[in-house]
Amino acid sequence: MFEKILKQNNLKITPQRMAILKEIEKNGHISIEEIYENIKETHPSMSLATIYKNLTSMQEARIIVEVKLPNQKQKYEFIKQPHIHLVCEKCGNIQDIHFDSSIKALQKICEKRTLYKIKDVSVALFGVCPECQ
């Protein structure tokens, strides 16, 4: 699966990229530091710089996207349909909720009111997850 995605985006299939993509898939939302911690045993020669470089390449190829949340380290996820992030203020868990039509409607309302041409939408709702309540 990852081989096909990398080939379609003209990126070389490397063990480093494969390991990074597997971590993103396994975790859903993951920081650079978490990726590094999770793969350093199986890929001891991979540095943080290598992870940064590969994440940047995969972002430019529109395979992954940076999740920007206030007061949190940046995390990465696969690009997918528009969605809302639910963020637990206690444990930091991030859950995706899909409301395609609502997000697109909100974007159109904002564009109409402000005359902005919106290129990207990022919505995050903060609260306490069921496990932390």
Question: What is the predicted pLDDT for the residue at 17?
Answer: 96
Question: Can you tell me the distance from the alpha carbon of 49 to that of 101, in angstroms, rounded to the nearest whole number?
Answer: 39
- Residue 110 among known ligand-binding residues: no
Which pair of structure tokens corresponds to residue 14? 């490397």
What's the rounded mean pLDDT across residues 100-106?
Answer: 82
pLDDT exceeds 90 at position 83: no
Instruction: Output the pLDDT for position 82.
Output: 82
d(CA 97, CA 80): 12
Q: Please name the helix (run of DSSP H) or strand (run of DSSP E) that holds residue 54, with its range, or none.
A: helix 48-60
Is 91 annotated as contributing to ligand binding? yes
Write a three-state SS string for 77-122: EECCCCCEEEEECCCCCEEEECCHHHHHHHHHHHHHHHCCCCCCCC
Q: What would the pLDDT profile of 27-43 be if each residue is shown by its tens digit?
A: 999 999 999 999 999 99
Q: Check whether 88 is labelled as a binding-site residue.
A: yes
Using a pLDDT cut of 90, give the percent of the chain over it. Answer: 75
| Rounded average pLDDT over 65-92 | 90
Mean pLDDT throughout 82-90? 91
All domains of the chain in start order, with CATH: 2-78 (1.10.10.10), 84-127 (3.30.1490.190)
* Token pair 């978490």 in the structure block, residue: 34
Enter the DSSP assignment of 61. Answer: T
Q: Is the pLDDT of residue 85 over 80?
A: yes
